[in-house]
């Protein structure tokens, strides 16, 4: 893969090239990407979507919105550092007008959007949607649509839904948000279709990023970016864009450290664990450990103490990721690095210890599990009602109740759908677009509570 192609400024529908030197220096197309994501309705809805703790009324807890913003900030720092490194070794790229900040903005934009397709109630929401089509009323679709189309629904994936949101054509809106191909490529962590499921142990085969409805544009995007094809059949599978590894690393850094911070602030993890578990990262900072310990004990409030240690830890891991990326840059360009960057980290064991503690004390806590159960049941009920109405409408068997339900679905999700798969996928995207609060309120109305 070549950096000049990987940094493509092309946008969906372009008939002309977009040379870097001809960009407006005060507002590059990469900057426009960031702005369009921020101002999109899908991004705004993340303010009321679960990060870890569903339906939490606590001001301590991060939502998908705050998490995405934090991942974007870390991603920007990673991208800028890597950009400076790449340009120092590639005078031709610099002569074309590319700058270190370009890399930072691309990664920041992709990171900002990385959760934009997630449904309500976090990963339990994804599972609720998938289970509905695999084993509930939605299973009636099996045999009526292709195997890959059916798997898109049975393994509903927020990453693929995010790519759909960013790129799909709608009535009056061509090309979705019309982001640069560089940002779209960086956004795609799993450049493959839903089938085959996890064909290799490579990190990019872990999940999928492409619904069947977006596969043709994905092929065009991959070719423009010079992504390396790794499929020997008609299945569309490619290696990752190198900068997608930075988005993943930024996400890993944030959810590891900030979920841990949330757990301490909520009282679910003892504060005494902070120094113990973050000590390796703190020792890797550029500040003497005695000075850090002294300042930590001088801060009067727990939230400030934990925030101080978390900030130092993030700084250490940013430097670590940059070092790893630089050491493996050629392998990344050759499509030969098949693990996450932090899997190569000297801090891997400590990161795993923090995640395991968070699993026990946060992710599997009674409060989280109980709310996930409620969210799962609510989504299953909504899917049953809405799927039945849309499916009956498609079959010409609409009941009076179905007609009422159909009136509550925004036209953009029903108009222009040419086949059953596209119609049901669009309906599922509508359910996924709802916030946690909207979902619970709609559920209440459907069961007769006004």
pLDDT tens per residue across span 120-145: 998 889 999 999 999 999 999 999 99
Angle between helices 272-283 and 302-327 (to 10 degrees): 30
Domain membership of residue 157 (yes or no) is yes
Q: Could you write out the three-class secondary structure of 26-57?
A: CCCHHHHHHHHHHCCHHHHHHHHCECCCCCCC
Residue pair 362/52 in contact by the 8 Å Cβ criterion: yes
pLDDT of residue 59: 55
Domain membership of residue 220 (yes or no) is yes
Domain membership of residue 375 (yes or no) is yes
This prediction's pTM: 0.96
Domain membership of residue 345 (yes or no) is no
Domain residues for the domain of 178 are 123-225
Quote the mean pLDDT of the chain: 95
pLDDT band at residue 44 using 50, 70 and 90 as cut-offs: very high
- State how many domains the chain has: 2
Domain membership of residue 76 (yes or no) is no
CA distances from 341 to 228, 251, 321, 346 (A): 19, 12, 6, 11
pLDDT tens per residue across span 351-373: 999 999 999 999 999 988 988 99
130-160 burial, b at 16+ Cβ within 10 Å, e below that, comes to bbbbbeeebeebeeebeebbbbbbbbbbbbb
Domain membership of residue 173 (yes or no) is yes
Domain final position from 225, 248, 280: 225
Over residues 411-415, the mean pLDDT reads 90
Residues in a beta bridge with 229: 238
pLDDT tens per residue across span 259-317: 999 999 999 999 999 999 999 999 988 888 889 989 999 999 999 999 999 999 999 99
Domain final position from 225, 245, 272: 225
pLDDT tens per residue across span 73-125: 999 999 999 999 999 999 999 999 999 999 999 999 999 999 999 999 988 89
Residues in a beta bridge with 192: 237
Asked if the model's pLDDT at residue 58 lies above 70, the reply is no
Domain membership of residue 18 (yes or no) is no
- Euclidean distance between CA atoms 75 and 52, whole angstroms: 21
Domain membership of residue 214 (yes or no) is yes
Residue pair 120/51 in contact by the 8 Å Cβ criterion: no
Q: What is residue 63's DSSP assignment?
A: B
Domain final position from 192, 225, 258: 225
């Amino acid at each position: 893969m070549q950096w000049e192609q990987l940094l493509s400024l092309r946008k969906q529908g372009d008939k002309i090239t977009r040379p870097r030197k001809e960009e407006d220096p005060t507002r590059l197309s990469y900057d426009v990407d960031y702005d369009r994501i921020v101002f999109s309705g899908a991004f705004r809805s993340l303010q009321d979507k679960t990060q870890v703790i569903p339906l939490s009324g606590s001001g301590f807890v991060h939502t998908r919105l705050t998490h995405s913003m934090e991942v974007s900030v870390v991603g920007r720092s990673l991208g800028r550092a890597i950009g400076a490194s790449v340009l120092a070794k590639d005078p031709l790229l610099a002569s074309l007008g590319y700058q270190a900040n370009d890399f930072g903005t691309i990664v920041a934009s992709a990171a900002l959007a990385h959760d934009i397709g997630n449904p309500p109630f976090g990963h339990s929401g994804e599972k609720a949607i998938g289970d509905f089509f695999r084993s509930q009323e939605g299973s009636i679709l099996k045999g009526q649509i292709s195997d890959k189309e059916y798997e898109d629904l049975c393994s509903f994936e927020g990453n693929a839904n995010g790519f759909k949101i960013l790129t799909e054509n709608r009535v009056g809106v061509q090309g979705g948000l019309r982001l640069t191909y560089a940002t779209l490529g960086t956004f795609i962590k799993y450049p493959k279709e839903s089938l085959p499921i996890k064909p290799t142990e490579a990190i990019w085969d872990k999940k999928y990023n492409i619904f069947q409805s977006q596969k043709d544009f994905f092929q065009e995007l991959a070719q423009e970016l010079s992504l390396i094809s790794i499929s020997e059949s008609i299945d569309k599978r490619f290696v990752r864009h190198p900068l997608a590894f930075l988005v993943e690393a930024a996400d890993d850094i944030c959810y590891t450290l900030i979920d841990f911070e949330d757990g301490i602030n909520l009282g679910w993890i003892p504060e005494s664990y902070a120094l113990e578990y973050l000590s390796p990262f703190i020792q890797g900072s550029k500040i003497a450990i005695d000075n850090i310990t002294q300042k930590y004990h001088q801060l009067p409030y727990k939230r400030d103490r934990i925030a101080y240690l978390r900030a130092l830890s993030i700084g250490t891991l940013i430097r670590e990721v940059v070092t790893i990326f630089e050491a493996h840059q050629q392998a990344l360009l050759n499509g030969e690095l098949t693990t996450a960057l932090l899997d190569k980290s000297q801090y891997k064991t400590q990161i795993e210890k923090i995640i395991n503690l968070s699993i026990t004390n946060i992710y599997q806590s009674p409060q989280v599990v109980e709310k996930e159960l409620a969210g799962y049941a609510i989504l299953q009920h909504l899917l049953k009602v809405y799927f039945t109405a849309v499916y009956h409408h498609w079959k010409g068997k609409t009941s009076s109740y179905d007609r009422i339900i159909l009136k509550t679905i925004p036209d953009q999700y029903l108009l222009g759908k040419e086949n059953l798969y596209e119609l049901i996928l669009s309906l599922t995207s509508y359910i996924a677009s709802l916030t946690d609060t909207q979902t619970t309120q709609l559920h209440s109305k459907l069961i007769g509570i006004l």
